[in-house]
Structure 1
Amino acid sequence: MGKQTISSLLYVVFILLFIIFPKSLEGTSLTYNVAAHERACFYAWADKPGEKVAFYFAVQSGGSFDIDYVVTDPRGKQVISGERERQGDFVFTANYVGEYSFCFANDMSTFAEKLVDFEITIENEPRAELPPSKGITPDQTSSMEESCLRLSSSLSTISRTQKYFRTRENRNFSTVKSTEHRILWFALLESMVIVAMAAIQVFTVKSFFNTTKRGHV
């Protein structure tokens, strides 16, 4: 393979990466602490009908790691919703241009705050025509594009796996902290009971001896 062919291949790969990655996703990844009885909403704008919207969330800590959520379109109608869910991963089509709202509600909790990690992504799929290059056939271009798409899919899978392990780690850490607090309070309660029982025993023995002395007098 000549130097011109190699440079042409690299040129096409760079163009494909530029087309697929920077322009295909417009996303927001956030972490928010939803207080008890709070309803928190976040918004994303769809520029044209038919865009793919990806919505992911996971409750990292707080209570039973569950929360209510609802997604509404620009007309105010619900797209997806759920109650007492620990996490979710959804993809839907934005059929209308405008602002989509993504709301979390922590109404079921009396005092527990919920730490929610979520991501909202607007996925566009532009199909640009590549400039002609010498030594590159349409079959080679199509093969390169498929390879780049597979690479993009693999990166998305890795990202989802990392988020899954992060969620598991945060939940396990929260469980460990909760268990430590329960053990501490149980130990304090047990110590108080032991002290109270010792005081009762001392008082009982003292009362017994006082009663015995009075009987002999």
Structure 2
Amino acid sequence: MLLRPSSLLPFLLLVLPFTLAHRIEIDPGQKDCFFESLQPQDKMTVTYEVGGSTSGGHLDIDFYVQDPQGKTIYTQHKKPQGSFSISADRGGRFTYCFSNEMSTYARKVLSFNVHGQLYIGDDEHIAPVEQEVRDLSAGLQLVKDEQAYLVVRERVHRDTCESTNSRVKWWAIAQTVILFSLCAWNVHYLKSWFEVKRVL
């Protein structure tokens, strides 16, 4: 939940940034919802990435956002990652949900970031240096989001490689056992052709 700054801060800061990072697990058939209380002209961005599934299944999730009146203003179905940005045109509680209700057996591991800016002053009164600071802050946030995305993608690819390596290893072992078993059977079968049977 966002906290409004005290009345003494507007002349020091024109924009107060916030960032929240989370990692959650969503059971099959369930959903997790969160909310942010925004004032008019506050900005919020939610980015998410499905980082894995504890019991197989696709790496996807449903995502939707509701305004303070409960009206759904954004939906995205069965996507492995996504992003949503809003500049609030009204004050109130904006709710965003991650839904795994379409899955019947796979628990999803989800990482998501919430970041934005609380509006305090008018852009017309921003000094050039302050505007540069705002631009640099926004650029830095984009870099952090990209780093978080790359960390999640690296985790997904590492899990995939380890799973593939494990399957290849056990398949090679199974092939070796089958090969030696066939060799032993062939030797035994050929020996039976050359055995001298004693006739009484």
**Identity across aligned pairs (percent)?**
21
Amino acid at match of 1:204: Y
Q: Where do 5+ consecutive residues of structure 1 fail to align? A: 1-14, 130-137
What TM-score comes out, normalization by structure 1 length?
A: 0.69
C-alpha distance after superposition, 1:156-187 (max 9, x if no partner): 12212212321232122112111211112211
CA distance in 2, matches of 1:187, 1:79: 52
* 2:153 is equivalent to residue 190 of structure 1: no
Please name the residue that 1:52 is paired with: 43
What TM-score comes out, normalization by structure 2 length?
A: 0.74
CA 1:45–1:157 in 2, change beyond 3 Å: closer, same or farther?
closer
Amino acid at match of 1:34: I
Which residue of the other structure, out of 151, 165, 179, is the alignment partner of 1:166?
Answer: 151
CA 1:17–1:49 in 2, change beyond 3 Å: closer, same or farther?
closer
- Whichever of the two has the greater Rg, that structure is 1
Instruction: Tell me how many residue pairs correspond in the alignment.
Output: 187
CA 1:68–1:171 in 2, change beyond 3 Å: closer, same or farther?
same
Which residue of the other structure, out of 40, 48, 53, is the alignment partner of 2:31?
Answer: 40
C-alpha displacement of 1:55: 1.0
Structure with the largest fraction of helix: 1
* 2:151 is equivalent to residue 156 of structure 1: no
Which residue of the other structure, out of 89, 97, 100, is the alignment partner of 2:92?
Answer: 97
Check whether the contact 1:24–1:125 (CA below 8 A) recurs between aligned residues: no
Amino acid at match of 1:189: A
What secondary structure, in the 3-state scheme, does the structure 2 residue paired with 1:107 have?
coil
* 2:197 is equivalent to residue 213 of structure 1: yes
What secondary structure, in the 3-state scheme, does the structure 1 residue paired with 2:20 have?
strand
CA 1:86–1:203 in 2, change beyond 3 Å: closer, same or farther?
same
CA 1:71–1:206 in 2, change beyond 3 Å: closer, same or farther?
farther
Task: Give the root-mean-square deviation of aligned CA atoms.
Answer: 3.2
Please name the residue that 2:110 is paired with: 116
CA distance in 1, matches of 2:193, 2:12: 91
Which residue of the other structure, out of 68, 72, 79, is the alignment partner of 2:73?
Answer: 79
CA distance in 1, matches of 2:102, 2:182: 43
CA distance in 2, matches of 1:18, 1:181: 57
Check whether the contact 1:73–1:96 (CA below 8 A) recurs between aligned residues: no
Please name the residue that 1:11 is paired with: none
Structure with the largest fraction of strand: 2
CA 1:201–1:176 in 2, change beyond 3 Å: closer, same or farther?
same
Which residue of the other structure, out of 21, 25, 35, is the alignment partner of 1:29?
Answer: 21
CA distance in 2, matches of 1:196, 1:142: 81
CA distance in 2, matches of 1:191, 1:114: 36
Which residue of the other structure, out of 182, 186, 196, is the alignment partner of 1:201?
Answer: 186
